[in-house]
Amino acid sequence: MGHKIYDAVALGEYLIDFVPDGVSASGEPLLERNPGGAPVNVLAALAKLGNKTAFIGKVGQDPFGKYLRDVLIRQGIADEGLVLSRDAHTTMAFVHLDERGERSFHFVRQPGADALLTKVEVRPELTRGTRLFHFGSISLTSESSRQATLHAVEEARQAGAIISYDPNWRPTLWETNELGLIWMKSGLEQAHIVKVSDEELALLTGRPDADTPDLAAGAEELVLRYGLDVLLVTRGAAGTYYRTARYAGEVAASRVVTVDATGAGDAFMGAFLHRVLGSETKPADWSELELRSAVAFANAGGALATTRKGAIHSLGTLEEIEELLCRTR
C-alpha cells in the first residue's frame, strides 16, 4: 500500500450522549454529558492502543461541537476532518439503561449536524492516506452524509485500505425499516471486515433465531454473499462467533461485572482492528489460531468497557486488556 499517514481513519456520526447518572436531591434523574458516536469510539479505542488515527464528520458550531473537537484532541485523534456546521446543531442522543445495563436511544437529529456532511467536505488526503478505513450505517441514514460516506469508502478502498464496517441498527433514524435494510446491506458490499450483533445478523439475513444453527447459517450467508474476509457476531456474555471463507467458531466472553454496556461493541471493534493493524498479513490470510487470538483480545477489550460508565471514558489500556485476558484463560 505504500506509506500511509494514518493507521486508521473513520467517518460517521459524532454526537453528545446524555447518560443516566443517578438522581437529584429532589428525586429527578440526572444526565451526564458524554461524547458519543460509534466511529469515534472505535478510533478512541485504537488511539488508546497506540495507533495514529483521524476522524471525518460534522458537528454544530455550538458549545457541544467545541467540546467534541476538544475530546478528539485529548484522545489523540486528528481533527482535520471535523467540519463545523452553521446550519444545524450538534446531534444529541439520550441513553436509557435497563437493569442489565443494556441501552436504548432517543435521538435529537432533525437534522443533526452529522447528517449534513457533504462529499466535498471529505478530505482526500484522509481517505487515501490510511491503512484502514472504518464506517458505520448511521451516516447512511441521510442523503447528504450517505453520499459522503460511500464516496469516502470508495476512495479509501481504491487506495488499498482495509475497509471495516459496523451496521448499527437504529430503526428510529430510518424513514422505513425496508429502506434501512437496503442501505445497511450496501455497506456490506464495500467491506472486508464486518461486526454485527446477533440481532443485527438476524435482521440482515431474515433468520429470526440467533441460536447456533441459524447463527452459523446466517454468518455463512453474509460471508459468501458479500465476499467478506471476516464476519464477527458479538453476543454479549455468550461471546463472539466468527466466520471467514475458511473458518468458523466461537470464542468465549471475558467475565466481568457489567455497569454500562455503552460503547462495548466499539471497544471490541477497536481492539480487533488493533490486532489487524499489528499483523504483517491481512485477516483473509490469517490462520485460525491468529483469528481466535484477535477475537479473544477484542472480547476482553469489549468486556472491560462495560465495567465503567460511558463510551470513550470506559476504554481500556493495552495493559488492562492483556491483564483481563490472562485472568480469562
H/E stretch holding 294: helix 288-305
- In the chain, which residues have pLDDT < 50? 1
Question: Residue 257 has which C-alpha cell?
Answer: 461485572
pLDDT at 1: 46
Residues for the chain: how many in total? 329
Q: What is the pLDDT of residue 3?
A: 72
Q: What confidence score (pLDDT) does residue 102 get? A: 67
Quickly count helices (H) and strands (E) in the chain.
10, 13
| 6-12+37-90+110-328 classified as CATH 3.30.1370.110 | no
Give me the amino acid identity at 198: D
The pLDDT of residue 112 is: 93
What does the alpha-carbon distance between residue 244 and residue 246 come to, in Å, rounded to a whole number?
Answer: 5
> What digits encode the pLDDT tens for the residues 270-318?
999 999 999 999 999 999 999 999 999 999 999 999 888 777 888 989 9
Q: What is the pTM of this model?
A: 0.93
| Domains of the chain by residue range | 6-12+37-90+110-328
d(CA 161, CA 133): 6
- Residue 104: what pLDDT? 75
SS (H, E, C) 174-220: CCCHHHHHHHHHHHHCCCCEEEEEHHHHHHHHCCCCCCHHHHHHHHH
d(CA 45, CA 75): 9
Query: In Å, how far are 75, 107, 186 from 70, measured between CA atoms?
Result: 9, 22, 33
What letter would DSSP give residue 139?
A: G
Nearest in space to 308 (alpha carbons), one of 33, 58, 101: 101
SS3 (DSSP) at 167:
coil
**Cis before residue 283, ω within 30 degrees of 0?**
no
State the pLDDT at residue 329. Answer: 67
Q: Kindly compute the dihedral angle of the four CA atoms of residues 176, 179, 184, 187, in this order, to the nearest 10 degrees.
A: -150
Q: How high is the pLDDT of residue 137?
A: 96
Alpha-carbon distance of 149 to 117, in angstroms, equals 9
